[in-house]
Chains A and B, each alone.
Chain A
Amino acid sequence: MNDSPPILEARGLTRRFGDLTAVDNLSLSVGRGEIYGLVGPDGAGKSTALRMLAGILTITGGEAQVAGCGLPGNETGVKNHIAYMSQRFGLYPDLTVAENVDFYADLYGAPRKGRQERVDELLDFSNMRPFRKRQAGKLSGGMKQKLQLVCALIHTPEVLLLDEPTNGVDPVSRRDFWRILYRLLGQGVAILVTTAYLDEAERCSRVGLLNQGRLLAEGTPGEIRRSMGTDILAVRTPRAWEASRILRRGLAGARSVDVFGDTLHVVGDDPEALGQEASRLLADQGITPDSLRSISPTLEDVFIHTLDTSRGPGAADPPESAGEPLPASSETAEEPRSASPAALPGPWSVEVQDLSRRFGDFTAVDRVSFTVPPGEIFGFLGPNGAGKSTTIRMLCGLLPPSSGTGRVAGFDLSVDPEGVKRSIGYMSQRFSLYEDLTVAENIRFYGGIYGLSGRRMEERQAWAVAMAGLDGREDDLTSLLAGGWKQRLALACAILHEPPIVFLDEPTSGVDPLSRRRFWDIIHGMAGAGVTVFVTTHYMEEAEYCHRVALIYQGRIIALDTPRRLKTTLTEETILDVRCPRPQDVLDQVAALAGVSDAALFGAGLHVRVNDPETARDRIRDVLRQHGFEDCPMQAILPSMEDVFVSMIESEDRRGGLLAGKGA
């Protein structure tokens, strides 16, 4: 917490659009050097609140003080002291990095003298200096976001308003991004950020949970976690989805059972008793959990719990019903190889040998080989621009391979791409719905494309509406739906024809945690029914929901295994989880210690990668002591998927650097 007077303060801020109240009597304050995270489901009013505070949206009621300027009234004054980043890419794609930065420097009146030094410093710090002359439109997603931040920082704003700045950004770029934010805090900047990543919210000084325009909870991440009043039972097992179904059905006294990666979180009044009952239930079904203990809740637990209770029974989006409308029973065992095989020739749904795709001199996909059995959820991870989307487009028959062979659903990619297209469902990053058509019109359109008609069309339409949770909203315009519903409708439209293989390209990008969770329930239901699911994602905890994961980098697959085996065998080093009050203060020092190969902010602490845990522990403790942090909990943990991802990419970079060094 920060004792200085707030530099941003909203009192009773309200905004109505017609009948809809987007932001309802919102009061919050942010002090200098503080970062305030605003989280909430889609349509909660986060962006609207930010826009009002940026002075670009008329305030219906209430008032705000931003950097000493009053709103409504002094919008001009506010704009001199803030920087605002909207969700959309706000820079000019046909201008180079340097030209964009220069344009904003002029707009903000940054002095010409000393400007070059400041620009260089910012570009260096965000690892973007080599790209000064590149056009902004040709940067990867992560670099675009960093460039937007650089443009916002050129005049050293007093208040920074960021609307989901790391949406769709890979973990490596996200780390860079947060590093810059923390440095700003040290300079006394106040930051208000909205985010869909709850591990990011854990890093904020304070967090506000917004729903339907109102603040449901507010406080430091610690305060919010404690607000739940009870510990949570954490059950770790590789068969998490199967276990979650068993416990949801049979565990009396559990208020909710949610899957977090390979761990189940069970909320109830008495975690001890729940634990005993849960292990008995699971043992009956032949599942022995790796661990079963009670933990303090994470922010995401509280988030989901608070939203569930605030919605109450009969709400429009009951998470428990997810997956039920699917055609086949969800009783099917979850292990992919034991799943009932769909009617496919041969043992593999997807079979790829040395598949490559070149665009001119650039090799987007470089001799990729793998096989996927029916009923498997196959995850594709990698930084922006690694070649994920190109691979998926080839597998969907949308892009011919430059070389190599592949068979999807028994059809050869090069010989019969039309056959491939008939037997797959494809959902792209941008939900390909027609916004000016109603829900039912969209479904009927896609049904028509897939050749459905008559009775079958009616059946599938009813099924799709139920799956997307849109009963009674068939005649609503698609543009009126919030992100989560749109996403499920897009999925429903992609699988209307019941394809044996489904390709999902970042299907959960920009969707709030609750909707994401419901979406994964559906995916697991589909896999249980024998459908092969191919999915790309930037959310590392989602990678843990996959049966197998391929890590793709610079067009090549650098690792392919189950999430568990990736975590245990592929990193030779140990990850130390360090919990301390202000991890950003010690980050640089810890990272520079001998024996530490990497340190990163992770949730409310640090993940430190070390060779020898024992000596490193002492060194880290010394650093913490210098900052007055005593007795910080520190333990060796199994790495998270994010740790694996970042460490593998870095070791790949080192190897690449070595080769390049030899070649020079």
Chain B
Amino acid sequence: MEGFVYRRFAAVAKKEFLHVIRDWRSLVLAIAIPIFLISLFGWALNMDLTDVPTAVWDQSRTPESRELLSLFEGSPYFSVDHHVDSFRQLRSLVDKGSAMVALTISSDFADRVRAGKDTEIQAVVDGSDANNANLALGYVTAVGHIYNARLAVAATRSRGLGDPKALVTLEPRAWYNPDLKSKNVVIPGIIALVMVVLAAMLTSVTVAREWETGTMERLISTPIRVPELVLGKVVPYFVVGMTDVAISVFMSRFIFHVPIRGSLGLLFAASAVFLAGALFLGLFLSIALKTQVLANQIALFSGYLPTLFLSGFVFGIHNMPQAIQALTYVVPARYFIAMLRGIYLKGVGLEVLWADALLLALYAALMIFLAHRKMKLMLD
């Protein structure tokens, strides 16, 4: 038995490069996919809520009620578009979806406020979009608190007691993402998504294609060895994949202005390890299934869906049922996304992320091993 012959490995790699270059449509697609995905998720998957369409039925029409409304009007989160005169009108606006929040201020509002009595205003929220309804309710409550605080200050002043001293104010501050911009969280995750989609597209067909066209029979009759074939086949796709990482990082930084606080070197190193795992998974499927269509479908299915749903990319892992949470541990993107967010937003390095990095490396090693194990240089 002889060992690894570099020249045969290089010959395979060169041949695969030629395939990639000749098949220019796939190559264009490989470059277009990251651009497309980042644009799609960057602009469309915006989870921040601003300018909530709001309708008001102000029965009070007093300076007090106008002060309350001015708080809504001055907030970036609300856009008070409609002033109506009946509950029926209010309701029809919510029904049509023209208003998401409907406020009703009762006619005795000003009297009760002046008298220092408990006062209620009614806020109806369109609950058909639960996520946004939750956010909107939170905003309404916050505005209510601010108004209460103002009333309290005014009350103490009016009693001649001067400015209140011991009023507790909560100053919330979101670390790592002070503006709580969802794109800062989403876009780093897209790098993971881009890579699994690409890997599925690129390597899952390479070995199967050779079985289907009959070139594999010829190839295995030459002195080629398994590692030369398996590694040689991945090289060009690795280059394409890393180019896509560079495109993704560039777009996130300069088009979506997501800051990179940590080490750019670590970012690319982690991407390389994750990409290797994804590429060898595709290659393994291609070797095992021997048909292009099936290998491609399964690679896409097994890569894309878990990365989208079970990695913490879109849905927080903490909110998932226990069983599903357990499942996320075998999704490599989970560790990669943790690393991406660590590097992008927290600016931390391996001293914190070593466990994720280790698991990613283990996964890649496992896939490389499986691909080698499965590749047989025989027809049966």
Q: Do A and B come from one complex?
A: yes
- Given A90-B214, A94-B19; A84-B221 close (CB under 8 Å): yes
Docked-complex contact A57 and B380, CB < 8 angstroms: yes
A1 within 8 A of B: no
Scan B214-235; emit 1 where CB is below 8 A from any A CB, else 0.
1101111111110000000000
B166 within 8 A of A: no
Docked-complex contact A99 and B18, CB < 8 angstroms: yes
Docked-complex contact B218 and A84, CB < 8 angstroms: yes
Docked-complex contact A88 and B213, CB < 8 angstroms: yes
Other-chain residue from B2, B19, B218, B222 in contact with A86 (beta carbon distance below 8 A): B218
Residue of B22, B222, B223, B225 with most partner-chain A CB within 10 A: B222
A-B contacts, CB under 8 A, total = 86
Residues on A with C-beta less than 8 A from B14 are 103, 106
A253 within 8 A of B: no
Docked-complex contact B223 and A108, CB < 8 angstroms: yes
Docked-complex contact B7 and A109, CB < 8 angstroms: yes
Residues on A with C-beta less than 8 A from B223 are 76, 79-80, 107-109
A85 within 8 A of B: yes
Docked-complex contact A57 and B378, CB < 8 angstroms: yes
Residues of chain A in range 87-126 having any CB-CB distance to chain B below 8 Å: 88-95, 99, 102-104, 106-109
Residues on B with C-beta less than 8 A from A85 are 218
Residues on B with C-beta less than 8 A from A58 are 378, 380
A308 within 8 A of B: no
Docked-complex contact A76 and B2, CB < 8 angstroms: yes
Other-chain residue from A56, A83, A95, A106 in contact with B379 (beta carbon distance below 8 A): A56
Scan B1-26; emit 1 where CB is below 8 A from any A CB, else 0.
11001011011001100110011000
B314 within 8 A of A: no
B308 within 8 A of A: no
- Given A58-B378, A107-B224; A94-B218 close (CB under 8 Å): no
Residues on B with C-beta less than 8 A from A95 are 15, 18-19, 22
Taking the nearest CB of chain A, how far is it from the CB of B379, in angstroms?
5
Residues on A with C-beta less than 8 A from B222 are 79, 104, 107-108
B377 within 8 A of A: yes
Q: Which residue of B lies closest to A110 (CB)?
A: B7
Docked-complex contact A107 and B11, CB < 8 angstroms: yes
CA A79 to CA B218, docked complex, whole Å:
11
- Given A58-B378, A109-B8; A103-B15 close (CB under 8 Å): yes
CA A89 to CA B210, docked complex, whole Å:
11
CA A106 to CA B10, docked complex, whole Å:
8
Other-chain residue from B8, B22, B23 in contact with A106 (beta carbon distance below 8 A): B8
Taking the nearest CB of chain A, how far is it from the CB of B372, in angstroms?
16
Residues on A with C-beta less than 8 A from B5 are 109
Q: Which residue of B lies closest to A88 (CB)?
A: B214
Residues on A with C-beta less than 8 A from B378 are 56-58, 75
Q: Which residue of A lies closest to B229 (CB)?
A: A107
Scan B368-380; emit 1 where CB is below 8 A from any A CB, else 0.
0000000001111
CA A51 to CA B218, docked complex, whole Å:
10
Docked-complex contact B11 and A106, CB < 8 angstroms: yes
A590 within 8 A of B: no
A184 within 8 A of B: no
Docked-complex contact A83 and B214, CB < 8 angstroms: no
Q: Which residue of A lies closest to B224 (CB)?
A: A107
Taking the nearest CB of chain A, how far is it from the CB of B211, in angstroms?
11
Residues of chain A in range 487-519 having any CB-CB distance to chain B below 8 Å: none
Q: Which residue of A lies closest to B1 (CB)?
A: A76
Residues on A with C-beta less than 8 A from B22 are 94-95, 135
Residues on B with C-beta less than 8 A from A148 are 218
A54 within 8 A of B: yes
Taking the nearest CB of chain B, how far is it from the CB of A57, in angstroms?
5
Docked-complex contact A75 and B217, CB < 8 angstroms: no
CA A104 to CA B15, docked complex, whole Å:
10
Other-chain residue from A82, A91, A103 in contact with B11 (beta carbon distance below 8 A): A103
Taking the nearest CB of chain B, how far is it from the CB of A487, in angstroms?
20
For chain A, give the interface size range: 20 to 34
Taking the nearest CB of chain B, how far is it from the CB of A557, in angstroms?
34
Q: Which residue of A lies closest to B216 (CB)?
A: A90
CA A84 to CA B380, docked complex, whole Å:
17
Scan A161-177; emit 1 where CB is below 8 A from any B CB, else 0.
00000000000000000
Q: Which residue of B lies closest to A80 (CB)?
A: B223
Residues on B with C-beta less than 8 A from A55 are 221
Docked-complex contact A57 and B18, CB < 8 angstroms: no
Residues of chain A in range 16-60 having any CB-CB distance to chain B below 8 Å: 51, 54-58
Q: Which residue of A lies closest to B19 (CB)?
A: A94
Docked-complex contact B221 and A79, CB < 8 angstroms: yes
Other-chain residue from B7, B8, B19, B217 in contact with A92 (beta carbon distance below 8 A): B19
CA A68 to CA B295, docked complex, whole Å:
40
Scan B345-377; emit 1 where CB is below 8 A from any A CB, else 0.
000000000000000000000000000000001
CA A199 to CA B58, docked complex, whole Å:
104
Scan A53-79; emit 1 where CB is below 8 A from any B CB, else 0.
011111000000000000000011001
Residues on B with C-beta less than 8 A from A79 are 221-223
Docked-complex contact A56 and B221, CB < 8 angstroms: yes
Residues on B with C-beta less than 8 A from A94 are 18-19, 22-23
Residues on B with C-beta less than 8 A from A102 are 11
Taking the nearest CB of chain A, how far is it from the CB of B1, in angstroms?
6
Docked-complex contact A91 and B215, CB < 8 angstroms: yes
Residues on B with C-beta less than 8 A from A107 are 8, 11, 219, 222-224
Docked-complex contact B220 and A56, CB < 8 angstroms: yes
Residues on A with C-beta less than 8 A from B18 are 92, 94-95, 99
CA A56 to CA B225, docked complex, whole Å:
13
Residues of chain B in range 217-266 having any CB-CB distance to chain A below 8 Å: 217-225
CA A569 to CA B165, docked complex, whole Å:
124
Q: Which residue of B lies closest to A55 (CB)?
A: B221
Residue of B5, B8, B223, B225 with most partner-chain A CB within 10 A: B223
CA A57 to CA B221, docked complex, whole Å:
10
Residues on A with C-beta less than 8 A from B213 are 88-89, 93
CA A299 to CA B379, docked complex, whole Å:
33
Residues on B with C-beta less than 8 A from A104 are 222
Residues on B with C-beta less than 8 A from A83 are 221
Residues on A with C-beta less than 8 A from B215 are 89-92
CA A529 to CA B31, docked complex, whole Å:
62
Docked-complex contact A56 and B217, CB < 8 angstroms: yes
Residues on B with C-beta less than 8 A from A92 are 15, 18-19, 215
Docked-complex contact A89 and B214, CB < 8 angstroms: yes
- Given A56-B221, A88-B214; A51-B379 close (CB under 8 Å): yes
CA A319 to CA B164, docked complex, whole Å:
114
Docked-complex contact A88 and B217, CB < 8 angstroms: yes
Residues on A with C-beta less than 8 A from B23 are 94
Q: Which residue of A lies closest to B225 (CB)?
A: A76
CA A156 to CA B218, docked complex, whole Å:
16
Docked-complex contact B19 and A91, CB < 8 angstroms: no
CA A91 to CA B380, docked complex, whole Å:
21
Residue of A80, A84, A106 with most partner-chain B CB within 10 A: A106
Taking the nearest CB of chain B, how far is it from the CB of A469, in angstroms?
29
CA A104 to CA B221, docked complex, whole Å:
11
Docked-complex contact A57 and B214, CB < 8 angstroms: no
Scan A229-265; emit 1 where CB is below 8 A from any B CB, else 0.
0000000000000000000000000000000000000
CA A89 to CA B214, docked complex, whole Å:
7
CA A615 to CA B213, docked complex, whole Å:
53
Residues on B with C-beta less than 8 A from A76 are 1-2, 223, 225
Could you write out 26 A-B pairs with CB less than 8 Å apart? A51-B217, A56-B377, A56-B378, A57-B380, A76-B225, A79-B222, A79-B223, A85-B218, A86-B214, A88-B213, A90-B214, A90-B217, A91-B218, A92-B15, A92-B18, A92-B215, A93-B213, A95-B15, A99-B15, A104-B222, A106-B7, A107-B219, A108-B222, A109-B7, A109-B223, A135-B22
* With A51-B379, A92-B15 already in contact, 10 other A-B pairs whose C-beta atoms are closer than 8 Å: A57-B378, A57-B379, A76-B225, A79-B221, A85-B218, A88-B213, A89-B213, A90-B214, A107-B8, A109-B7
Q: Which 10 A-B pairs have the closest CB atoms?
A: A90-B218, A88-B214, A106-B11, A84-B221, A94-B22, A107-B222, A86-B217, A54-B221, A80-B223, A79-B223
